Structure 1
Amino acid sequence: MPIDADDPRLTSPFEAAATRYDDVPFLRAGSSGIPLPRISLGLWQNFGSARPLDTQREILRHAFDRGIVHIDLANNYGPPYGAAESTFGTVLDSDLRRYRDELFLSTKAGYDMWPGPYGDGGSRKYLMRSLEQSLGRMRTDHVDVFYSHRVDPDTPIEETVHALADIVRSGKALYAGISNYPADLTRRAWELLAAEGVRLFIHQPRYSLFDRTPEAELFPTLRELAVGSAVFSPLAQGLLTAKYLDGTVPADSRAADSRFLDASALTDDYLERIRGIEGVAREAGLSIPQLAVAWVLRDPVVTTAIIGASRTSQIDDAVSASSTPLPDDVVAALEPFAAGVGERIA
């Protein structure tokens, strides 16, 4: 349930740091006119209604102060569904409203959101109605990019793409994006949008040291078509951290919550790999998350890496990684512990 903007916890004014553009580099998304910060904040898992509002507010404010102006959402982020957008809308009203034109906001629709046949997929009805609901929860009249969150095998791609084009023409989204599309359907979406005079602005795939699927076909396609990419899960849902080095599962970790990460992923092979990565990180003077983020940013086909954060120190780690070029010998040292090109191991 949305929190009233008059909530007493939200009364203190927010003055953004004057240095907010000093730390995070920006990179233009494909051949568009839009540069994005190399680090973006995703609200997938840490902005549900069960989380303290004060913590969520602190994270959003700190991210903005560090130059992370791209906030990534989806209609069903929570839990419950819609809660992340509602939380963001509350903080937008209380703290960030006057900075709206400095923000780059994205949301998505494609997965299940409400009961019945019209609350899921890629149909025109679902995408249009979902965006209207998202704008209400986010308390804004437009988003900067709206994504088709997944391929819907039961809806012609022409219908999905035509809806995206109409949404852009309506001004309720400024750019069109797709997520989780394979290379061939990415090309088809690009062609269909181009025929309507709309640019495919960005693609959002999963990418990390443990999932290099995009390197085989998707990234070459994005380079050819000059489309940006915003990669999610650069820490492989928390596997690329020091939390599990001893093979146990901390009570507050994602592996302890089967919605996000199955504890069975902590195999002997994983432990061997993460300990190897930790050794490379230590030699490079980095933490495992810093190394993992710097690694996905090593190739400019990746416009930005979307991170989640449950505390502000995680934002600071990612900001540091965003301007840390990895020497070739460090990249090479990671190869024995990473997935192969085109392979996903976690």
Structure 2
Amino acid sequence: MDYVADRSGYDSMVYRRCGRSGIKLPAISLGLWHNFGSVDPYATQRDILRFAFDNGITHFDLANNYGPVPGSAEENFGRMLATDFKTYRDEMIISTKAGYPMWPGPYGDWGSRKYLLASLDQSLRRMGLDYVDIFYSHRPDPETPIEETMSALDQAVRQGKALYVGISNYSAEQTRKAEAILRELGTPCLIHQPRYNLLDRWVEKDLLATLEEKGIGCIVFSPLAQGLLTDRYLNVIPSDSRIAKPHGFLKEKMLTPERMQALRSLNTLAGERGQTLAQMSLSWLLKDQRITSVLVGASSVAQLKDSLRAIRNLKFSEEELELIDRLSAPAML
């Protein structure tokens, strides 16, 4: 059956200005880091993407190495663009990145001009696109001058292969340098994508303040700490969970007794707020207006539907915030 989008989702989604740009992003964006590779059911991927777009999620975040196997998430997404979303391209923000290992040899990793621009060309071919909306430097390269990396991003825009550029995993100091170089080149830094969640709060030290000062948007990845901030690990480890998979961020040794107890206490507080632990964790991030969007993954439509309910309650009392700080302290990663 041909897909026809339900545009009523635009009315229920919250959209936030990305820094001082002209772009707004949905408060909840869909990340294709996991569950969209060649090892995952294609029909499930399609159902998730259709549901996302029907519910106002207009931003889809990829990277060259997303899979597994690397590149397969972009390939699958490209197939769905061609069959389902071709007529809706101008209603979508599609982003991709380069910075992690992608092919053998000295030119398939990090931040050289050679790698970044070759990778972008490959990503465009995999997705069947003429351009992406956002192209990121996925991580800073300690051996390539930051001027080279930023000039490659600028060149991607001038070639018409990206509309905007961003950075990911950069420190506050690195962000300041990158922003200044891009501004001088005439291609402003649109957005920064750091890891940030209740259990990993490094961005609060100085990065968020830097982004606000420079007018750069912030979209956070791992908002649920790769599943720790859900009800999946409160008692047992499910056989289909990320901890049970050979690839991924989570490891069984991370589920210490102290962390498990803290997560159970946070789950109790979420229930008192009428939310799941996942919903409260997303709401906690979005309470800060400096956060443009949170990137959620999904292995099913039901999981994505649960995440979307987070935007219904973004208010926290001072007592709740203090309790969250106290309960999350023993669980910090």
CA distance in 1, matches of 2:124, 2:180: 28
Q: Quick one: which of 135, 144, 148 aligns to 2:124?
A: 135
Q: What TM-score does the superposition give when structure 2 sets the normalisation length?
A: 0.97
CA distance in 1, matches of 2:7, 2:297: 24
CA distance in 1, matches of 2:11, 2:322: 30
Q: What TM-score does the superposition give when structure 1 sets the normalisation length?
A: 0.94
Counterpart position of 1:23: 12
* 1:257 maps onto 2:240 in alignment: no
Tell whether the 8 Å contact from 2:263 to 2:328 is kept in structure 1 after alignment. no
CA distance in 2, matches of 1:201, 1:18: 26
* 1:314 maps onto 2:306 in alignment: no
CA distance in 1, matches of 2:312, 2:78: 30
Alpha-carbon deviations, 1:137-171, whole Å to 9, x = none? 01110000000000111100000000001111111
Alpha-carbon deviations, 1:6-48, whole Å to 9, x = none? xxxxxx2100013120211000000000010000000001101
* 1:151 maps onto 2:140 in alignment: yes
Alpha-carbon deviations, 1:62-96, whole Å to 9, x = none? 00000001000000000000000000000000100
Structure 1 unpaired stretches of 5+: 1-11
Counterpart position of 2:324: 334
CA distance in 2, matches of 1:38, 1:258: 31
CA distance in 2, matches of 1:81, 1:143: 18
Q: Identity of counterpart residues, as a percentage?
A: 50
Deviation at 1:333, TM superposition (A): 2.1
CA distance in 2, matches of 1:207, 1:18: 30
Amino acid of the residue matched to residue 332 of structure 2? I
Deviation at 1:345, TM superposition (A): 2.4
Counterpart position of 1:122: 111
Give the alignment's Cα RMSD to 1 decimal.
1.1
Deviation at 1:176, TM superposition (A): 0.7
Tell whether the 8 Å contact from 1:176 to 1:200 is kept in structure 2 after alignment. yes
User: Which structure dedicates a bigger proportion of its chain to helix?
Assistant: 2
Counterpart position of 1:194: 183
Q: SS of the residue aligned with 1:237?
A: helix
CA distance in 2, matches of 1:220, 1:31: 14
Amino acid of the residue matched to residue 17 of structure 1? D
Deviation at 1:258, TM superposition (A): 3.9
* 1:345 maps onto 2:326 in alignment: no
* 1:297 maps onto 2:279 in alignment: no
Structure 2 unpaired stretches of 5+: none
Amino acid of the residue matched to residue 322 of structure 2? A
Q: Quick one: which of 80, 83, 96 aligns to 2:72?
A: 83
Q: Quick one: which of 29, 32, 46 aligns to 1:57?
A: 46
Tell whether the 8 Å contact from 1:119 to 1:126 is kept in structure 2 after alignment. yes
Tell whether the 8 Å contact from 1:28 to 1:36 is kept in structure 2 after alignment. yes
CA distance in 2, matches of 1:332, 1:311: 33
